[in-house]
Amino acid sequence: MNERIFTYHYGNEGEQYAFYRIPKALITDPYFKHLSTDAKLLYGLMLDRLSLSMKNNWIDERNRVYIYFTLEDICELLNCKTDKAVKLLAELDTNKGIGLIERIKQGQGKPTKIYVRKFIQEDYIAENKDRNYGNNPDFGKSEVKTSEKPKSRISKNRCPDFGKTECNNTEYSKTEINKEIDRIDEPKRQAKEQIEYDILAEQFPQEELEEIVDLITEVYQTADGLIKIGERKIAVPFVQERFRQLNSLHIEYVFECLRASPGNIRNIKAYLMEVLFNASATMYNYYRAKVKHDLAFM
Q: Pairing relation of β-strands 113-116 and 101-104?
A: antiparallel
Give residue limits of the domains in the chain. 17-171, 177-296
d(Cα 119, Cα 95) in Å, to the nearest integer?
16
**Per-residue pLDDT tens over the stretch 245-268:** 999 989 998 998 888 877 677 788
Q: Pairing relation of β-strands 67-68 and 113-116?
A: antiparallel
d(Cα 195, Cα 282) in Å, to the nearest integer?
17
Q: Which residue, 176, 90, 82, 169, is CA-closest to 132?
A: 169
Tell me the pLDDT band of 116, cut-offs 50, 70 and 90. very high
Give the pLDDT of residue 75: 92
Tell me the pLDDT band of 88, cut-offs 50, 70 and 90. very high
Give the pLDDT of residue 119: 87
d(Cα 102, Cα 92) in Å, to the nearest integer?
8
Q: Which residue, 86, 18, 72, 71, is CA-closest to 48?
A: 18
Return the minimum-mean-pLDDT range out of 8-12, 28-32, 57-61.
Answer: 8-12
Query: Mean pLDDT over residues 85-97, rounded?
Result: 91
Under DSSP, is residue 137 helix (H, G, I), strand (E, B) or coil?
Answer: coil
Percent of the chain with pLDDT strictly greater than 70:
69
Average pLDDT over all residues of the chain: 77
Give the pLDDT of residue 159: 39
The two counts, helices (H) then strands (E), for the chain are 11, 5
Give the pLDDT of residue 38: 95
**Per-residue pLDDT tens over the stretch 3-12:** 778 777 776 6
Provide the angle, in degrees to the nearest 10, between the axes of the packed helices 206-221 and 268-296: 120
Q: Is 29 a residue whose pLDDT tops 50? A: yes
CB atoms within 10 A of CB 239: 21
Return the minimum-mean-pLDDT range out of 24-38, 89-103, 107-121, 210-224.
Answer: 107-121
- Whether the CB-CB separation of 215 and 187 falls below 8 Å is answered with no
